[in-house]
Amino acid sequence: MRRVSLFVEDAAHEKFIGAVLKRVAHEHKINIKITFSSVRGGHGTVKRELKQFINDILRDRTGPPDLIIGATDANCMGFNRREKEITAITNKVTLRIICAIPEPHIERWFLIDSLAFKKAVGKGCGAPDKKCERSRYKNLLIQNIVDAGIIPSFGGIEFADAIVEEMDLPGAARFDHSFERFISELRAVFREW
């Protein structure tokens, strides 16, 4: 059993990235145990919790996991800047660490495969543009679910498992470079295992 520690900024990250982890593990026939940390509080909380976790590992208070994933939205700051912020915290240890940094927001990843979206909620969605507007993709996710005749209970994130299960991961990766980087790095880890 491989242990994965996932540091996320909110429930949307937890649901979607957790679903991707489970799917890729299943595809590689590897059993994983996911531990979620800091699922509320945004980017700052992810950094603070991740820093504390790394310090605990360095002090031998916590047995190191097989993989650490730092997940935070780019929030119009750009993938590279967010990745540098995470690696500045994690570069003290020689563990497997990858970043999941949706650009600009996680809800965009829910919308990048229209056919998967259609299979999950009953109606496809338009290809999402790429703009840096706060709540733009949250609103698009909700609107596309409402257009399918469903009132989302949790802003649409409740469909993460169904969407990810139906996704053409390579096709979605070609559509979104931040998703491609995450999937590519994740699959590399699972191939090594």
Report pLDDT digits (tens) over 107-155.
999 999 999 999 999 999 988 988 888 899 999 999 999 999 999 999 9
| Residue 7: strand, helix, or coil | strand
Residue 76: is its pLDDT beyond 90?
no
DSSP3 helix / strand / coil % (the chain, rounded to 5): 55, 10, 35
Domain membership of residue 14 as a residue range: 2-192
| Residue type present at position 126 | G
Model's pTM, two decimal places?
Answer: 0.93
- Residues 171-177, mean pLDDT to the nearest whole number: 95
pLDDT tens-place string over residues 14-55: 999 999 999 999 999 999 999 988 667 788 888 888 999 888
**Average of per-residue pLDDT across 55-80:** 88
For position 193, what pLDDT does the model report? 94
Tokens representing residue 16 in the block? 């979607």
* pLDDT on residue 38: 67
Sign of the dihedral defined by the CA atoms of residues 45, 89, 64, 97, in that order: positive
| Tally of domains in the chain | 1
Cα angle 9, 49, 1; round to 5: 85
Q: What is the largest CA-CA distance in the chain?
A: 52
